[in-house]
């Protein structure tokens, strides 16, 4: 009888089945991006077509080996790497990397799951369209991973998250069947929405092999402004004003706390962070305009004039060139890296109704500082859609590793209890993975959790797709 490895080699070709026994270093597939987990895979399998994915799933299921789907392995919640049993198969989708079709009249693009996000943005642009999903990992994350995690990023305030951009999916089920759900329909009320079931399911319900995604017309101009604000309340007021002045042109609204920007200034002085030293918060705004750059600039000027009059902006700069705009965005995107340079930290990717964010931060900052004197709060995020990266850095004195070991559980409880109290979510855009699976049991509505378990049982009764992720 042939072994599973032999069968996998017969399906995808020997070159695309990697094992440690053959002398391969599997650490790129076994270790997560944040280096919080390093598992051991039986093999890494790299199918090159949907039919091959289907055959791999059937073979693994028949042999009783569970699978971990993987795209770019940039996920932040330990969902894309194997456990340490040495029994799981990593199913890497990166060879499924074709753009199958662009339909300009329908404003859609049908792409395979392993396409790199940045490649899709560039492909759309070359065809004269905008594909607006955008996040700092776009150079290595895949659209399959984006859909499996329902990724958000910087443009959600205008275009929504990955779910909102998806019109159809092709999925290999846990039984190895292929659901052909591609199609560019914006209206289709023929029963349960299976697409929405698979989007955000983090590889636990099916393997996404292709997707039909929405495109938009390219804007005539995109302008970026950087504004210093006197408080978080002012930042929220500025968001309201920006909605009124810019309408659908408001495509980005990020907030950055002074300590977060101070870390960028300390670890990446060459980036020259503007206006941070004398203001508690700065805001990055993007205005995408369908008319012209001059129109976009006038709109921004009117917005900032009103904001100065209302006292909700203390100082501001509008980027003079695309290069300057990129520099400003680069500062924002460098905060996680600067934080990593500063040392180990505890990350929270939370969402709160925008109106409650100032009160949430004031209370939670005070609570943490009272309970754990000296903790440093790195607060930044996509304020436009209510998503904060509310991170906690170890005090300057003492060893950060010891701080994490001794305080992480307590810090998480303090923060998540507050999020719950404010009607928020403990995972806004990164997902659950295995890192937050136990927290879901604590904070998710019990009826919702029961329904989720029923869905998992119905679609994957033998628990062969990414077991232990999302549902503990
Ligand atoms: C520097 C940095 C910045 C980031 N910024 C953001 C941000 O702004 N917004 C945001 O939302 N996220 C962000 N992330 C997180 C991460 O990039 C996203 O979660 C991304 O969507 C993951 O894509 P991936 O291809 O790397 O997926 P992976 O990490 O490989 O997988 C993520 C999950 O999806 C599953 N999966 C992957 N591919 C498939 C598939 N084809 N079918 C079924 N399941 C699959 C995996 O099993 C796993 O559970 C950031 C990460 C980094 C490193």
Cβ contact 198:208 at 8 Å: yes
* Ligand 1 site, residue 149, Cβ cutoff 6 A: yes
Å from CA of 1 to ligand 1 middle? 37
Ligand 1 atom closest to Cα of residue 69: 47
Mean pLDDT of 132-143: 96
Residue identified by tokens 């004003």 is 241
Q: Whose C-alpha lies nearest to ligand 1, atom 37?
A: 145
Cβ contact 415:392 at 8 Å: yes
Is it the case that residue 1 has pLDDT exceeding 80?
no
Ligand 1 atom closest to Cα of residue 161: 11
Q: Which two tokens stand for residue 304?
A: 């900032």
Percent of the chain predicted with pLDDT > 70: 100
* Ligand 1 site, residue 204, Cβ cutoff 6 A: no
* Ligand 1 site, residue 134, Cβ cutoff 6 A: no
Mean pLDDT of 388-398: 92
Residues 22, 132: Cα–Cα separation, whole Å: 41
Mean pLDDT of 150-174: 97
Å from CA of 285 to ligand 1 middle? 25
Mean pLDDT of 102-130: 98
How would residue 300 be classed by pLDDT, with cut points 50, 70 and 90? very high
Is it the case that residue 281 has pLDDT exceeding 90?
yes
Å from CA of 147 to ligand 1 middle? 8
Å from CA of 143 to ligand 1 middle? 9
Is it the case that residue 183 has pLDDT exceeding 90?
no
Give which of 205, 149, 198, 141 is closest to 169, Cα–Cα: 198
Ligand 1 atom closest to Cα of residue 382: 8
How would residue 398 be classed by pLDDT, with cut points 50, 70 and 90? confident
Give which of 27, 116, 138, 33 is closest to 77, Cα–Cα: 33
Residues 284, 332: Cα–Cα separation, whole Å: 8
End-to-end CA distance of the chain: 35
Percent of the chain predicted with pLDDT > 90: 95
Q: What is the DSSP string of 440-470?
A: HHHHS-HHHHHHHHHHHHHH-TT--BSTTSS
- Residue 34: the pLDDT is 85
More confident residue, 36 or 24: 24
Q: For the chain, give the mean pLDDT.
A: 96
Residues 151, 138: Cα–Cα separation, whole Å: 11
H helix or E strand, kind and range, residue 416: helix 400-421
Give tens-digit pLDDT for 317-347: 999 998 999 999 999 999 999 998 998 889 9
Task: Please list, in sequence order, all residues whose beta carbon lies within 8 angstroms of the beta carbon of residue 415, skipping any fewer than 6 positions away.
Answer: 348, 350, 364, 368, 390, 392
Ligand 1 atom closest to Cα of residue 198: 43
* Ligand 1 site, residue 469, Cβ cutoff 6 A: yes
Q: Which two tokens stand for residue 10?
A: 């017969």
Q: Which two tokens stand for residue 329?
A: 């965005």
Q: Whose C-alpha lies nearest to ligand 1, atom 38?
A: 145
For residue 153, give the DSSP letter. Answer: B
Q: Which two tokens stand for residue 38?
A: 């390093």
Residues 58, 61: Cα–Cα separation, whole Å: 5
Task: Please list, in sequence order, all residues whose beta carbon lies within 8 angstroms of the beta carbon of residue 190, skipping any fewer than 6 positions away.
Answer: none
Residues 435, 81: Cα–Cα separation, whole Å: 12
* Ligand 1 site, residue 79, Cβ cutoff 6 A: yes
* Ligand 1 site, residue 74, Cβ cutoff 6 A: yes
- Residue 371: the pLDDT is 95
- Residue 397: the pLDDT is 85
CA distances from 181 to 70, 342, 368 (A): 21, 45, 47
SS3 state at 263:
helix
Is it the case that residue 49 has pLDDT exceeding 70?
yes
Q: Which two tokens stand for residue 408?
A: 């992480």
Q: How many CA atoms lie within 13 A of 424 on its CB side?
A: 30
* Ligand 1 site, residue 232, Cβ cutoff 6 A: no
Q: Which two tokens stand for residue 318?
A: 């509008």
Is it the case that residue 211 has pLDDT exceeding 60?
yes
* Ligand 1 site, residue 111, Cβ cutoff 6 A: no
Task: Name the residue of 29, 48, 80, 133 to mutate for ligand 1: max ligand atoms within 8 A of Cβ.
Answer: 80
Q: Whose C-alpha lies nearest to ligand 1, atom 36?
A: 145
Model-level pTM? 0.95
* Ligand 1 site, residue 72, Cβ cutoff 6 A: yes
Å from CA of 438 to ligand 1 middle? 20
């Amino acid at each position: 009888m042939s072994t599973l490895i032999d069968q996998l080699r017969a399906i995808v070709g020997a070159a695309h089945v990697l094992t440690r026994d053959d002398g391969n270093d599997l650490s790129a597939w076994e270790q997560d991006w944040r280096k919080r987990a390093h598992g051991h895979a039986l093999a890494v399998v790299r199918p090159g077509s949907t039919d091959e994915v289907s055959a791999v799933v059937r073979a693994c299921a028949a042999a009783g080996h569970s699978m971990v789907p993987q795209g770019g392995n940039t996920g932040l919640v330990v969902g894309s790497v194997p456990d340490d049993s040495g029994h799981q198969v990593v199913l890497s989708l990166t060879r499924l990397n074709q753009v199958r079709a662009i339909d300009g009249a329908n404003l859609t693009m049908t792409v395979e799951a392993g396409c790199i996000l940045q490649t899709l943005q560039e492909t759309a642009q070359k065809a004269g369209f905008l594909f607006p999903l955008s996040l700092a990992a776009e150079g290595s994350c895949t659209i399959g991973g984006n859909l499996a995690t329902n990724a958000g990023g910087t443009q959600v305030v205008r275009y929504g998250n990955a779910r909102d951009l998806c019109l159809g999916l092709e999925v290999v089920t846990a039984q190895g069947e292929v659901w052909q759900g591609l199609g560019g329909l914006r209206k289709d009320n023929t029963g349960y929405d299976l697409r929405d079931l698979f989007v955000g399911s983090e590889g636990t319900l099916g393997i996404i092999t292709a997707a039909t995604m929405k495109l938009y017309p390219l804007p005539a101009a995109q302008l970026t402004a950087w504004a210093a604000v006197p408080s978080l309340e002012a930042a929220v007021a500025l968001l309201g004003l920006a909605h009124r002045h810019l309408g659908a042109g408001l495509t980005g609204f990020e907030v950055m706390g002074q300590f977060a920007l101070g870390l960028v200034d300390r670890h990446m002085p060459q980036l020259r962070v503007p206006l941070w030293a004398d203001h508690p918060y700065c805001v990055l705004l993007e205005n995408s305009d369908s008319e012209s750059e001059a129109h976009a600039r006038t709109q921004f000027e009117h917005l900032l004039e009103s904001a100065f009059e209302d006292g909700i902006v203390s100082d501001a700069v509008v980027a003079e060139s695309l290069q300057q705009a990129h520099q400003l965005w680069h500062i924002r995107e460098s905060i996680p890296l600067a934080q990593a340079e500063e040392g180990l930290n505890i990350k929270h990717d939370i969402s709160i109704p925008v109106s409650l964010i100032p009160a949430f931060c004031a209370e939670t900052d005070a609570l943490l500082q009272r309970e754990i004197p000296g903790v440093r709060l790195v607060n930044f995020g996509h304020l436009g859609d209510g998503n904060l990266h509310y991170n906690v850095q170890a005090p300057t004195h003492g060893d950060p590793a010891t701080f994490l070991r001794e305080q992480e559980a307590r810090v998480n409880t303090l923060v998540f209890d507050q999020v719950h109290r404010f009607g928020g979510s403990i995972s806004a855009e990164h997902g659950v993975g295995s890192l937050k699976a136990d927290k879901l049991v604590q904070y998710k509505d019990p009826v919702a959790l029961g329904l989720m378990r029923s869905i998992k049982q119905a679609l994957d009764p033998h628990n062969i797709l990414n077991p232990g992720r999302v549902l503990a």
